[in-house]
């Protein structure tokens, strides 16, 4: 699951102009998924129930690029079935799993002094 750090000099940071932040990159074409609404995450159905779970693949969604279908076809070629979910849901599930004892975590983005943003409870 490619997640890369990208420096954006247009964003205000705590120590001046610019912030490095993680972005999703498509496992099929290698390009950044600019808008989560245009992305999905895919995994091998059934393997998620195995000890240790299974890898997640990030893809551009839709037929135009063919990324989603290509990743599903690769899993099928290995004799696996693919499951997928909207990429917009990914951060909430991940945040919940990172802080499992706080089911009431809110996912609001807030402004901090200096212009950085983050989540708070
Ligand atoms: Zn792609």
Is residue 121 in a domain? no
Domain span holding position 50: 3-98
Distance 103 CA to ligand 1 centre (A): 33
Q: What is the pLDDT of residues 28-77, one digit of tens each?
A: 999 999 999 999 999 999 998 889 999 999 999 988 899 999 999 999 99
Is residue 50 in a domain? yes
Cβ atoms of residues 112 and 106 within 8 Å: no
In the predicted structure, residue 102 carries a pLDDT above the cut 90: no
Please tell me the pTM assigned to this model.
0.76
CA distance 15 to 1: 30
Provide the residues around ligand 1 (an ion) whose CB is within 5 A: 26, 28-29, 60, 67
Is residue 39 in a domain? yes
CA distance 66 to 112: 40
Is residue 120 in a domain? no
How many separate domains does the chain show? 1
Distance 84 CA to ligand 1 centre (A): 15
Is residue 113 in a domain? no
């Amino acid at each position: 699951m490619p997640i890369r750090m990208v420096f954006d000099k247009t964003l205000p940071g705590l120590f001046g102009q610019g912030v490095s932040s993680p972005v999703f990159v498509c496992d099929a074409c290698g390009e950044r998924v600019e808008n989560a609404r245009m992305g999905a995450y895919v995994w091998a159905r059934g393997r998620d129930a195995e000890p240790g779970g299974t890898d997640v693949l990030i893809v551009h969604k839709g037929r135009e690029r063919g990324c989603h279908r290509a990743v599903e076809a690769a899993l099928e070629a290995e004799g696996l079935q693919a499951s997928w979910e909207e990429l917009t849901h990914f951060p909430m599930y991940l945040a919940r799993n990172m802080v499992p004892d706080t089911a009431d975590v809110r996912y609001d983005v807030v402004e901090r002094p200096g212009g950085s943003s983050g989540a708070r409870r």
